[in-house]
Copies of this chain bind each other. A is one copy, B any other.
Amino acid sequence: RYFHFCKLPGRVMGIRLLRFTSVVIIVLLLVAGALTALLPNIKDDKMPNLRREAKTQSQSALDSFTLIMQTYNRTDLLLKLLNHYQAIPHLHKVIVVWNNIGEKIPEEMWNSLGPHPVPVVFKVQTVNRMRNRLQNFPELETKAVLMMDDDTLVSAHDLAFAFSVWQQFPKHIVGFVPRKHISTPSGVYSYGSFELQNPGFGNGDQYSMVLIGAAFFHSGYLEDFQRQPEAVYALIDETQNCDDIAMNFLVAKNTGKPSGVFVKPVDIRNLEKDTNSGYSGMWHRAEHLLQRSYCVNKLVNIYDGMPLQYSNIMISQFGFPNYANHKNKM
């Protein structure tokens, strides 16, 4: 019986040999597959401080951010910007704060041009208020918020890098537009318009605010903003301005440090001139800067002190866009 196999006719033996060989091959493949799964993952140390690109289609709430963009009377710019921003890496969702009171949101058009990379929510407002964008939106799922003005274009590279910087400074406003306040001997503060004024100490310049119209910050600050003194809301409503200054006061008070971290943008553009609406931003009003100085002093009264602090840290991306941007002549 043992050698029965050998005595079978050639054809039957061939089939049994084929079955046997197939089984052996399948077993070998299974073993190889198991070995592959057991191989150690040697890629861990390759992980940079930047979050790894999400491999799944949905972004985890920790590794992504929500874009909040308030819009008024510039729907053409809004739509142009939405096409750009909807595909930014690590974007989770877009919240459009619709300040065009009584005007229909472009939802039909938006849907007809779908599908879109991420959900876009249009939040219809009842009053055209500057501080509408600082609500604690229930749709907000991520720890990080990217807030952009509806006329500002920042490159995807800049945003990806700034997001990675925010992840290292989560309690700060990490953004592209630095500003400062100036102390004067009289004790009255002035909103410093850049190199036209200098805080007057050490080398170079300082900044004490990072504007939220092009910045990342922690969504928790939107929650905090709901718990501010009434006088803050009254001030912002009165001026239709200064919500960003108020946020910097809030953050500085909260951290006891400079509120912002400035990331120098490689490619940031103002698209104001491109709008067909004829509407140009609030900052063109004659009283705009004077209002902001006024706000600084009012906020110092409201908060009983000046919490803003100076910083001169300017962050750029190592080796990008110029791979040799860190070289020196040594």
Contacts and interface: CB of A to CB of B under 8 A. Distances in A.
Interface in A262-298: 262, 264-265, 268-270
- A46, A164, A168, A202: most-surrounded residue (chain B CB, <10 A): A202
B306 A45 contact: yes
A222 interface: no
A320 B206 contact: no
Interface residues of A, number: 62
Q: How many copies does the complex hold?
A: 2
Contacts of A315: 313-315
Contacts of A187: 42
Contact of A204 (B46, B309, B311, B323): B323
Contact of A48 (B47, B178, B310): B310
Nearest to A169: B313
A49 interface: yes
Contacts of A86: none
A317 B203 contact: yes
A324 interface: yes
A49 B310 contact: yes
Main secondary structure of the interface of A (DSSP, over half): loop
Nearest to A157: B203
Nearest to A264: B326
Interface in A163-208: 164-165, 168, 176, 178, 183, 185, 187, 194-195, 199-207
18 contacts: A46-B183, A46-B200, A46-B201, A48-B309, A49-B310, A49-B312, A50-B202, A165-B313, A178-B326, A203-B320, A203-B321, A204-B319, A205-B320, A205-B326, A206-B318, A207-B318, A268-B330, A314-B316
Pick the 3 closest A-B CB pairs, nearest first. Answer: A205-B319, A204-B320, A204-B319
